[in-house]
Amino acid sequence: MSKWGIEEKETLDAIKILRGNILNIAAGDGRFNNKLLEISDSVTAIDIDEKELNILKENSDSNNLITKVVDITKRFPFEDSSFDGIFCTGTLHLFDVETVKSILKEIKRVLKPNGKIVLDFATDIKRLDKEGNIVTFEGEGSYSTSEAVELFEKELNDFSLNIDKSTFKEENLNDDAGYNQITGNFLIISGTKKYIKRL
């Protein structure tokens, strides 16, 4: 099991739309990566933490996996229209609005026309340590569900978009996570990049 908890059923259902060459953004220790490998031709897993990517590689026996250390707050090191699908879970909500917008711009740039996305975005988060104290991370974003929906509808207006809402609760997490329990809502944002014919 990943130190970040279980693979939520809602996310596992959503990723079934992905095919081809998939970019797994902020892949971490690979909570969903093996599932992505099962449905794709290849997965490029990126994360800022090389140690996490090494764990991901150790837990995978696929020859169709590429890993790369990448800071997703900067321009992605990929050509335009490089990927058929893009997946990102458990990360975007940690950033402020302007950084999320910048990451979404890069997602759109490296995704092929008619390519598909599956993103999840946590809202109304509450984290607790083992003693029941609230845990927050310095500089992280804090979003209500309505704020997040509005953000994605605006920034991904060139996608046919579907946004589903669910709740989550993870308990007894590994100490490496930095907290023992987390609850909140999460949005699953899935869709297809519209193909715009240039004249």
Per the structure, the count of domains in the chain is 1
What is the structure's pLDDT at 1?
46
Strands 181-193 and 159-170: antiparallel
Q: Does 2 map to a domain?
A: no
Q: Does 129 map to a domain?
A: yes
How much is the mean pLDDT over the chain? 89
pLDDT tens track for 109-118: 999 999 999 9
Does residue 66 carry a pLDDT above 60? yes
| Structural domain boundaries, residue 19 | 9-190
Q: Does 25 map to a domain?
A: yes
Residue 4: pLDDT band (50, 70, 90) is: very low
% residues pLDDT > 90 (the chain): 64
In the block, which residue shows the tokens 């990102």?
88
Does residue 127 carry a pLDDT above 50? yes
Does residue 193 carry a pLDDT above 70? yes
Cβ neighbourhood burial of 48 (10 Å; 0-12, 13-18, 19+): middle
Among residues 106, 93, 100, 5, the alpha carbon closest in space to that of 46 is found at 106
Residue 198: pLDDT band (50, 70, 90) is: low
% residues pLDDT > 70 (the chain): 94
pLDDT tens track for 136-188: 887 777 899 999 999 999 999 999 999 999 888 888 777 777 788 888 898 99
Q: Does 38 map to a domain?
A: yes
How far apart CA 107 and CA 104 sit, in angstroms, is: 5
Q: Does 56 map to a domain?
A: yes
Q: In this structure, what CATH number is given to the domain that contains residue 91?
A: 3.40.50.150
Q: Does 197 map to a domain?
A: no
Mean pLDDT of 44-53: 95
The region, left, alpha or beta by phi > 0 then psi within -120 to 50, assigned to residue 56 is alpha
Mean pLDDT of 117-146: 88
Q: Does 160 map to a domain?
A: yes
Does residue 5 carry a pLDDT above 80? no
Q: Does 195 map to a domain?
A: no
Tell me the whole-structure pTM to 2 decimals: 0.86
What is the structure's pLDDT at 178?
79
pLDDT tens track for 18-31: 999 999 999 998 88
